Amino acid sequence: MPVSDEDFFQRTLQFHENGARLQKIDPECVDEYDDHSLLKLICITYWVGIFIPIANALRFHTAYVDSMAGSGVTITKKGHILCGSCPGAILSAMDKRHPFELAFAVEKNRARAETLTERLKGIAPTKIMVYNDDILNVSEEIARHLQGTMAYIVIDPEGFEGMTWAGLEPLVKCKGDVMLTWFESDAWRVKCAAESPENKSAESIKKRLTELLGTEDWIKTTSEKELTQLFVQRIIQECGKKAYAAINIPRTDKRNSYLMILFTGGGSGAQHRVDGWKSSIEKRVTSAHGQGISTLLDIKAGKIATLNQWIPKEEKESMKQEM
Ligand SMILES: C[S@@+](CC[C@H](N)C(=O)[O-])C[C@H]1O[C@@H](n2cnc3c(N)ncnc32)[C@H](O)[C@@H]1O
């Protein structure tokens, strides 16, 4: 029986109570983003639920890699506490009764890395290593640890920070799947900055884009979408990925939405699986609950009326029909 949006989001919010528990370890050290980060976290953890049983059924050793991991707790601008991607993915696999055997988290900010280490300590039975380093310095070492595993790799930068091919390629080439946050508008802004005669850093920005995208073809792109395609195609062609799907995540301020792009290396039915992930999540993101995620979080925090009062009438009717 299909899970209603109401149940889906109730369960999701319940899961994120882990965030409040983890925040008690070093309460001041949190990552601050907007309420829509919850939709990003759903994209990441939902794929755990598809990836991990398949990897186990195929008898692979399993690993999770969070290449830009943060502190393990996100607090939204309105004060809602969420469980960050790294503990979130590891706990989701445990919920599915298929824990990852190994997990690697990389965070270059020392305070966040130290707090993340403490927050992950109580999580068993996954063997977890936290690196306080730049992903550029440690991706090859981590890739060596991933030999013989099926890995789920999450690359979740802020804008373009840390996005270098040299840093990402060793991980993206590993056997398994990759979830990447791609800031399409930011990428386009970087391209425009590289081409601006007034920009004194234009030469170094050009080099950066060419390093990330592999050729100077980015100069010929005429839209944000074309630029994104260059990057996506490089990953598909050079890193052995078989299929991909992308979901647009809106932001509270309605500007600068970003994409969650899932790449899979996985055998037969690869496109079907990533399309399934996309349609399941898009349905939630575009539902009244997903669009009103800020309101849902307020309801959960007891700041406003009950869920039942808030859900629009049409959605209640369609939920009744589904059930
Ligand atoms: C968007 S946050 C990650 C949030 C996390 N994925 C979550 O949802 O809980 C990006 C993090 O990457 C870190 N970072 C940025 N550049 C990095 C790099 N080159 N290597 C490692 N970490 C980096 C930042 O300090 C920041 O904490």
User: Which pLDDT score, from 0 to 100, does residue 255 have?
Assistant: 66
Cα-to-centroid distance, 107 and ligand 1 (Å):
6
Is 179 a pocket residue for ligand 1 (Cβ < 6 Å)? no
Which residue has its alpha carbon closest to ligand 1 atom 10? Answer: 157
> Residue 253 — very low, low, confident or very high, per pLDDT cuts 50/70/90?
low
> Residue 320 — very low, low, confident or very high, per pLDDT cuts 50/70/90?
low
Which of 107, 134, 155 for a ligand 1 pocket mutation test, highest count of atoms within 8 Å of Cβ?
107
Is 56 a pocket residue for ligand 1 (Cβ < 6 Å)? no
Is 234 a pocket residue for ligand 1 (Cβ < 6 Å)? no
- Report the range of poorest mean pLDDT among 103-107, 121-125, 228-232: 121-125
- Type of residue at 300: K
Is 157 a pocket residue for ligand 1 (Cβ < 6 Å)? yes
- Report the range of poorest mean pLDDT among 28-32, 35-39, 297-301: 297-301
Which of 91, 106, 161 for a ligand 1 pocket mutation test, highest count of atoms within 8 Å of Cβ?
161
**Is the full-model pTM beyond 0.75?**
yes
User: Which pLDDT score, from 0 to 100, does residue 1 have?
Assistant: 76
Kindly give the pairing relationship between strand 127-131 and strand 149-155. Answer: unpaired
User: Which pLDDT score, from 0 to 100, does residue 267 have?
Assistant: 77
User: Which pLDDT score, from 0 to 100, does residue 321 have?
Assistant: 53
Distance CA 201, CA 209 (A): 12
> Residue 112 — very low, low, confident or very high, per pLDDT cuts 50/70/90?
very high
What 3-state class would DSSP assign to 62? Answer: strand
- Write out the two tokens for 73: 């707790």
- Report the range of poorest mean pLDDT among 15-24, 85-94, 281-290: 281-290
User: Which pLDDT score, from 0 to 100, does residue 306 have?
Assistant: 57
Q: What is the mean pLDDT of the chain?
A: 91
User: Which pLDDT score, from 0 to 100, does residue 2 have?
Assistant: 85
Ligand 1, residue 44: give the atom nearest the CA. 8
> Residue 323 — very low, low, confident or very high, per pLDDT cuts 50/70/90?
very low
Distance CA 89, CA 94 (A): 9
- Neighbour tally for 204: CB within 10 Å: 10
Which of 30, 108, 182, 212 for a ligand 1 pocket mutation test, highest count of atoms within 8 Å of Cβ?
108
Ligand 1, residue 107: give the atom nearest the CA. 22
Q: Taking residues 38-54, what's their average pLDDT?
A: 95
Cα separation values, 165 from 31, 134, 151, 193, 208, Å:
25, 13, 19, 20, 9
Which of 16, 31, 68 for a ligand 1 pocket mutation test, highest count of atoms within 8 Å of Cβ?
68
Task: Examine the pLDDT at 318 and tell me if it is beyond 60.
Answer: no
- Give percent of the chain with pLDDT exceeding 70: 93
Is 134 a pocket residue for ligand 1 (Cβ < 6 Å)? yes
Higher local confidence (pLDDT), 293 or 30: 30
Higher local confidence (pLDDT), 318 or 193: 193
Task: Examine the pLDDT at 299 and tell me if it is beyond 80.
Answer: yes
Is 32 a pocket residue for ligand 1 (Cβ < 6 Å)? no
Q: What are phi and psi of 260, to 5 degrees?
A: -105, 115
- Write out the two tokens for 308: 């039942």
Q: Taking residues 156-182, what's their average pLDDT?
A: 97
pLDDT in tens, 67-84: 999 999 999 988 899 999
Domains along the chain?
Answer: 5-183+260-315 (3.40.50)
- Report the range of poorest mean pLDDT among 8-22, 141-155, 171-185, 209-223: 8-22
Is 6 a pocket residue for ligand 1 (Cβ < 6 Å)? no
Ligand 1, residue 70: give the atom nearest the CA. 27
Is 68 a pocket residue for ligand 1 (Cβ < 6 Å)? yes
- Write out the two tokens for 256: 């600068």
